[in-house]
Amino acid sequence: MQRLAYFDNAATTFPKPACVYDQMDQFYRHAGGSVGRGNYALSRSAKQIMDETRGQITKLLHCPTMQVIFQPTATLALNMIIQGLISGGAKNIYISPFEHNAVTRVLHHFERLRQVTVFQLTVTKDLQYDLERIRYQFDNDRPDLVIVSHASNVIGLVVPAEEIFGLAKQYGALTVLDMAQTAGVVDCSVGLDAFDFAVFAGHKTLLGPTGISGFVMKSDICLPPVLFGGTGFESANQDMPASLPERFEIGTMNISGIAGLNAALKWICGQSVSTLYQEESAKRKRLLELLACYDFIHTVGNIEGRQYVGIVSCVIDGISSDIAGQLFSERNISVRTGLHCAPLAHQFLGTYPAGTIRFSVNSLTPDDDFDTLDAALADIGDNL
């Protein structure tokens, strides 16, 4: 059977470092207890893994004083933050044109209820954030909350988050950085004053398993809870605990996922974030050079001089993205097609409603995958 060439790392990275598989297996064999539900050895060892992983997250994101909150998915983490801040009074909310439905569907719900007004930050056609125009927007409609995806999951464009959030802070806004496509591959000091929240997805650029994600937050921010339940802490109190992280970590945590993430974070630290970004950028360049060899395929949103992660979107002459996805699948190439849960991005890029074919690489993408893709593109071209 022909080996699958995997170009869908923006959805979930594959393969993982071998230590991730080993650590999860060892967890269930030797440390499979629940945290906060007992004072026996298995529970204590699980808590030790959880506490150590929190420290690794704050080290990676350069935010030693921020609190780490684990959640099953980045979508749930974003919901907890956004819904909590809206219930706390946030009304004027700014987003980029590249936000995921994990942000936009939440805001659409509350906008329909007339509880918030949503504005888009000004981005030029050559993919620059127009800070002067954004300042003008903030002057006209003072921001309460600014949410930005650190890198677009459609084209991989990295935004100048520190500059945007620094400007937002001049107006007293709270800030949320969605790092689902960047944590572990784009170095960012979210411990700086401009950053209030940062969301991470364990199964993407952090190279961990599915089912474990979360966010970091400043400990002094009042974020009302929107989900309620058992924490193994202050059980007699029918209000959620005031302490962090217990206030937001309800139910039994995915400790095996945290164990896998623990191993992935140690692996990333051993490689260094800057090295992994350089390797991913080199793979992205190779992908672009390969696609450029075929005149029937055209990249979208790729502009010289901008910063990107390993994501490339494209279209094929005369073929819808869904049909193209089927053609690649038949040739053992995994790609993502359609709108990628980010319809606003496609409206901005002019690829709505058909969407694009998305290829996404990372530092672990093997050379053989590019050879398989080259052969597939040649075969597709011969049959157009």
- Separation between Cα atoms, residue 40 and residue 337, nearest integer Å: 48
Cβ within 8 Å of residue 246, ≥6 positions away: 36, 231, 233, 234, 240
Contact 201, 264 (CB under 8 A): no
Q: What pLDDT, on the 0 to 100 scale, is given for residue 36?
A: 58
pLDDT value at 38 more than 70 = no
> How many CA atoms does the CB half-sphere of 268 hold within 13 Å?
31
Q: What pLDDT, on the 0 to 100 scale, is given for residue 326?
A: 96
Q: What pLDDT, on the 0 to 100 scale, is given for residue 314?
A: 98
Question: Is there a single domain that holds both residue 58 and residue 177?
Answer: yes
Domain boundary among 271, 297, 315: 271
Instruction: Give CA separation, 304 vs 128, 149, 154, 288, in Å.
Output: 12, 20, 17, 12
What average pLDDT does range 200-228 have in this prediction?
A: 96
Question: Is there a single domain that holds both residue 218 and residue 295?
Answer: no
pLDDT value at 31 more than 80 = no
- pLDDT tens for each residue of 13-22: 999 999 999 9
pLDDT band at 136 (very low <50, low <70, confident <90, very high): very high
- pLDDT tens for each residue of 88-126: 999 999 999 999 999 999 999 999 999 999 999 999 999
Lowest mean pLDDT among 156-170, 204-218, 231-245: 231-245
- Separation between Cα atoms, residue 259 and residue 370, nearest integer Å: 32
- Give, as one character, the DSSP assignment of residue 319: B
- Helix (H) or strand (E) holding 188, with range, is none
pLDDT value at 34 more than 90 = no
Candidates 325, 333, 331; CA nearest to 361 is 333
Question: Is there a single domain that holds both residue 23 and residue 138?
Answer: yes
Return the percentage of the chain with pLDDT > 90, whole number: 86
Q: What pLDDT, on the 0 to 100 scale, is given for residue 29?
A: 82
What average pLDDT does range 73-100 have in this prediction?
A: 98
Domain boundary among 271, 294, 311: 271
CATH code where residue 378 lies: 3.90.1150.10
pLDDT value at 39 more than 70 = no
What average pLDDT does the structure give for the chain?
94
- Residue-number span of the structural domain to which 348 is assigned: 5-16+272-382
Q: What pLDDT, on the 0 to 100 scale, is given for residue 2?
A: 66
pLDDT band at 42 (very low <50, low <70, confident <90, very high): low
CATH code where residue 157 lies: 3.40.640.10
Question: Is there a single domain that holds both residue 49 and residue 187?
Answer: yes
Q: What pLDDT, on the 0 to 100 scale, is given for residue 252?
A: 85
pLDDT band at 46 (very low <50, low <70, confident <90, very high): confident
pLDDT band at 33 (very low <50, low <70, confident <90, very high): low
pLDDT band at 129 (very low <50, low <70, confident <90, very high): very high
Question: Is there a single domain that holds both residue 158 and residue 246?
Answer: yes
- pLDDT tens for each residue of 227-284: 888 777 777 888 888 899 999 989 888 999 999 999 999 999 999 999 999 999 999 9
What average pLDDT does range 34-38 have in this prediction?
A: 63
Q: What pLDDT, on the 0 to 100 scale, is given for residue 235?
A: 75
Contact 324, 241 (CB under 8 A): no
Q: What pLDDT, on the 0 to 100 scale, is given for residue 249?
A: 87
Q: Which two tokens stand for residue 258?
A: 């945290």
Question: Is there a single domain that holds both residue 81 and residue 224?
Answer: yes
Domain boundary among 228, 245, 271: 271
Q: What pLDDT, on the 0 to 100 scale, is given for residue 113?
A: 98
Question: Is there a single domain that holds both residue 150 and residue 222?
Answer: yes
Question: Is there a single domain that holds both residue 238 and residue 309?
Answer: no
Question: Is there a single domain that holds both residue 289 and residue 143?
Answer: no
Contact 321, 193 (CB under 8 A): no
Question: Is there a single domain that holds both residue 157 and residue 266?
Answer: yes
Question: Is there a single domain that holds both residue 253 and residue 276?
Answer: no
pLDDT value at 50 more than 60 = yes
What average pLDDT does range 287-300 have in this prediction?
A: 98
Question: Is there a single domain that holds both residue 167 and residue 66?
Answer: yes
Q: Which two tokens stand for residue 250?
A: 């309800």
Phi-psi region of 95 (alpha: psi -120 to 50; beta: other; left: phi over 0): beta
- The number of distinct structural domains making up the chain is 2
Lowest mean pLDDT among 38-42, 184-188, 220-224, 301-305: 38-42
Q: What pLDDT, on the 0 to 100 scale, is given for residue 3?
A: 77
